[in-house]
Structures are given as C-alpha cells and as structure tokens.
C-alpha cells in the first residue's frame, strides 16, 4: 500500500530486539499492523492478533506478504515491550516532520493548545490526583505536535 510506504521505511530503522531465529515476521509490518489495530480500538496484544487474523488476507495482498497466520500474542508483547522507546519516537518524529512538510501551507501557521484531565486516572488507593495533559496541535496540518504532563494542579497557561 503506497500510502504507508514512507512510514514503513522509517519503521525499518527501529532496531529489532529479536534474535535472528525469531524473525519470522518483519518488524516494520508488525509495528504498522499494531498501530492500525490500536487506531481501530484494540488495547491489548490479543486484540492486535485478532485484528491481524481478521484482516490477514487483505494485509498480505496490500503489502505483498505471505503470512499464513498472525503472530502469537506473546510474540507481539515480546516485540513491543523490548523496543527502544527513543528509536521508536525518533521514527515517529521523522514521519511527522515529513507529513508536516508535505501538508504545510505557505505563510504563518497556528498551534492549538488543549488541556485535559485523563479519565480514570485518579488513584484513591494511593491518594494521587488525576493526571492532566497538555496537547499541542498544528491546525493547518492536523498533526499532534506534543503532549506534556502537567505536574501540579493549575490551569494550562503555566505549562504552555
């Protein structure tokens, strides 16, 4: 699928945590399919496997793969847990920069800031306050630029 080509190319730069014998499924495709599964509402390694199982034939056809079955949920969990977070973030930042450059319009852009309290984040047992997050969006390209935790209870202005 041509639309995912640049992202797949960037995901090939993420170091693979598996031994050579354990590389039955290509890392960039496992990562891309995990992202697609999460975007569609999956929230576990079993959900990712279910997504791949349901769409395996279409994914094989679209990406030129020959997967006979989805990876086991333990394999998905192993891969995702052992990834280098800095390498993954660097790949996503490069991808965002490419998207920003491709969609940016001439002239000045604008950034929208939005503060939210994360639902279900209050911890009564540890008497911890609800987590607050500040997000920045590029309005001309509809890209999320950043998320930052707001450490203390205040309005979003000091964090911005």
The percentage of residues in the chain with a pLDDT greater than 90, rounded to a whole number, is 45
pLDDT digits (tens, 9 = 90+) for 65-86: 999 999 999 999 999 999 999 9
Report residue 119 as tokens.
């639902």
Cα 25 from Cα 32, distance rounded (Å):
12
* Token pair 């935790």 in the structure block, residue: 149
pLDDT at residue 32 in the model: 95
Is residue 46 pLDDT above 70, yes or no?
A: yes
DSSP state of 49: H
Tell me what pLDDT residue 153 has.
Answer: 61
Q: How is residue 48 written in tokens? A: 């990712």
**pTM: predicted TM-score of the whole model, two decimal places:** 0.73
Judged by average pLDDT, the poorest of 28-32, 88-92, 109-113 is: 109-113
In angstroms, the CA 138 to CA 29 distance is 28
* CA-to-CA dists, residue 45 to 49, 103, 112, 122, angstroms: 6, 33, 33, 25
Rounded to an integer, the average pLDDT of 105-117 is: 77
Instruction: Out of 55-64, 85-94, 126-135, pick the least confident.
Output: 126-135
């Amino acid at each position: 699928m041509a639309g995912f080509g640049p992202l797949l190319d960037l995901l090939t730069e993420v170091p693979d945590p598996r031994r050579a014998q354990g590389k039955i499924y290509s890392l960039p495709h496992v990562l891309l399919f995990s992202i697609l599964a999460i975007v569609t509402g999956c929230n576990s390694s079993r959900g990712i496997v279910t997504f791949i199982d349901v769409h395996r034939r279409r994914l094989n056809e679209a990406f030129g793969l020959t997967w006979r079955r989805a990876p086991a949920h333990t394999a998905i969990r192993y891969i995702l847990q052992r990834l280098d977070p800095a390498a993954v973030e660097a790949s996503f930042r490069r991808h965002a920069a490419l998207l920003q450059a491709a969609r940016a319009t001439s002239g000045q852009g604008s950034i929208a800031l939005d503060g939210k309290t994360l639902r279900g984040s209050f911890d009564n047992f540890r008497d911890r306050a609800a987590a607050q997050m500040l997000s920045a969006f590029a309005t001309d390209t509809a890209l999320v630029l950043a998320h930052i935790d707001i450490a203390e209870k205040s309005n979003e202005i000091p964090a911005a």
